[in-house]
Amino acid sequence: MGKINKKLKAIDFFCSGGGMSFGLQQAGINVLTGIDFDPECKNTYETNIKNAKYILADVEKLKENDLSKKIDIKKNDDDLIMVGCSPCQYWTIIRTNKKKSKKSKNLLHEFHRFVKYYNPGYVIVENVPGILNRHRESGLDKFISDLKKQGYKVHYEIVNLNNYGIPETRKRFSLIANRNTDKKIFPEPNNSCPVVADFIGKKNGFAKILAGHKDNSGFMHTVAGLNKKNIERLKLTPKNGGTRHAWANTDLQINAYRNNRSNISFNDTYGRMSWDKPAPTITTKFFSISNGRFAHPEENRAISLREGATLQTFPKTYKFIGNNISSIARMIGNAVPPLYAKQIGKVIIKNHYDRK
């Protein structure tokens, strides 16, 4: 980790398990606090984000002036960074139950309140591309317009994080607003385009395990169990990128996929990752082979919690603390990959200290 500069400091709204905070800290930014309404994230966040405070709060109910009572911040601070990576399931193009995520659809507006009130030196937003595709409904139009009225230089784009060294085909909306200089700042892609084999597998320290394996060590190479039928399905799925079409004409075929249309629409479900390609986007359900191409390239199981975290570029020493596989996977899947967050932090640091 780079030397922490006490001057530049960050507040991470909707911090979850700390992916963005960890990356900014690795870049050398002093992370003051993470804010989230999920009590299960507290131990993970405070264990990994050194000297940062976890504020358990629903941002919709948190008042602007209450934040300065909880932590030592003030208005118009050029050295302050406010980060808003709100839960994004409502705006995703992935087919999910939007009723469950409807409450989170206005969280950009709630974050906007704090930005207007405190007027920090920098603002970071990271979300799904759908927030831009539906920019009026999501509140993004007004958010950007108001940032510009406040004097920020705003740069945003849809990025494929594989171009930034993350081994996933993870497309994200990223925004950095800066009111300290006249520059629009944004990390440059390095186009390294890593693949699954660069991060997981035996040569990267991942032992061969069976479905249902529970790792009680901090390494957490834990994997969800599978019923006998799903194990049989994976045995018939070709290694290194195979799909469920290999057993489509057998009695193992899933009833919902028996008609041609749905058979094509959900092509990745029950599929294996490929060693020589990036992983799909690691979602909150990556532990389940029925929720995407989350089967191991060779072994007859889904990827483990640690494999998912590693593909998200969390270091292997990162400690996830949760009640079950589902809660830990949610923290991992919701995270901003720390390696990408570190690159964001680096460009902000450079801009800040290059000022004349």
Enzyme catalytic residues: 88
> Distance (Å, rounded) from C-alpha 308 to C-alpha 197?
13
Q: Do the Cβ atoms of 165 and 194 come closer than 8 Å?
A: yes
> Distance (Å, rounded) from C-alpha 178 to C-alpha 27?
17
> Distance (Å, rounded) from C-alpha 74 to C-alpha 72?
7
* Alpha-carbon distances of 15 from 10, 26, 57, 262, rounded to whole Å: 11, 16, 11, 36
> Distance (Å, rounded) from C-alpha 193 to C-alpha 160?
10
Instruction: For the beta carbon of residue 194, count every other beta carbon within 10 angstroms.
Output: 18
Burial of 157 (0-12, 13-18, 19+ CB in 10 A): exposed
State both tokens at 16: 């979850």
Q: Do the Cβ atoms of 10 and 21 come closer than 8 Å?
A: yes
> Distance (Å, rounded) from C-alpha 12 to C-alpha 21?
6
* Alpha-carbon distances of 37 from 13, 34, 66, 95, 110, rounded to whole Å: 10, 10, 16, 24, 13
Which of 292, 289, 13 is closest to 127 using CA atoms?
A: 13
